[in-house]
Amino acid sequence: MTTRFRNRSDAGRRLVEHLVDYSRRSDVLVLALPRGGVPVGVEIARKIHAPLDVFVVRKLGVPGYKELAMGAISSGDVCVLNDDVLHTLKTPESVIEAVTERERRELRFSEHTYRGDRPLAPIDGRVVILVDDGIATGSMMLAAIRTLRRLAPARIIVAVPAAAQSTRDEIGREADDFICEMSPSPFYAVGVWYDDYSQTTNEEVRELLNQGVVEPSFAQRS
């Protein structure tokens, strides 16, 4: 029988039991997708004694095609484009540049909101545990993995409390490891598997990050 999570903190405490092999390792970094991934990530970071940071991703939407993305940008000023989409739609360079610049401004605003002037934690050569509160379609997590790869982590471990079965194979092919507490079928939506799935606020994200960062030398190392 599938047991629902009480809230995101409960989900993080249950998920971390699958991550004990990464405890107290100096090369491990927990990166949470905002906003809902942060309460999950902070529980993991505390338990395995690893630093926590937030990884912001913005999809580059194709004008006139609401659900279609031509790429993504992320923390670390990484941009990844979907060449197949661009070729099929013959998207002009000027459109790509305009959308990218707009989303880059939004990304910088979000990053400043969450972490102030502190730079992104160093990623090169580290084992990154990439966390969210759940995966339904998987499009945002895939964008996060693909942009994160450009920052040269040693490994990417995707860890989520719940995921749709239909997304597991695709995420598993992109990540070095995929850890999931439960994958019920039918899945419906992430929030179905939480008793409390209330929105995480920007203020809560900032507070949790301040609690979860246990490596104060980030700025000096970057």
pLDDT top residue among 111 and 212: 111
Instruction: Check which CATH number belongs to the domain holding 206 and give it.
Output: 3.40.50.2020
pLDDT over 50 at 163, yes or no? yes
CA distance 100 to 44: 33
Overall domain count for the chain: 2
Task: Write down which residue in 90, 114, 138 finishes a domain.
Answer: 114
Assess if residue 19 is contained within a domain: yes
The predicted structure's pLDDT at residue 213? 56
The predicted structure's pLDDT at residue 219? 37
Average pLDDT for residues 66-90, to the nearest whole number? 92
Q: Are residue 30 and residue 106 in the same domain, yes or no?
A: no
Q: Range of 133's domain?
A: 8-56+117-214
Q: Are residue 100 and residue 209 in the same domain, yes or no?
A: no
pLDDT over 60 at 41, yes or no? yes
The predicted structure's pLDDT at residue 2? 67
Instruction: Check which CATH number belongs to the domain holding 89 and give it.
Output: 3.30.1310
Q: Is the pTM of this model over 0.85?
A: yes
- Which are the contacts of 45, defined by CB distance < 8 A and separation ≥ 6? 30, 51, 52, 212, 214
Return the number of other C-beta atoms located less than 10 Å from residue 93's C-beta: 8
Q: Are residue 89 and residue 13 in the same domain, yes or no?
A: no
Assess if residue 2 is contained within a domain: no
CA distance 204 to 32: 13
pLDDT by residue (tens digit) across 102-115? 999 999 999 999 99
The predicted structure's pLDDT at residue 216? 44
The mean predicted confidence, pLDDT, of the chain is 92
The predicted structure's pLDDT at residue 3? 86
Task: Write down which residue in 72, 92, 114 finishes a domain.
Answer: 114
The predicted structure's pLDDT at residue 11? 98
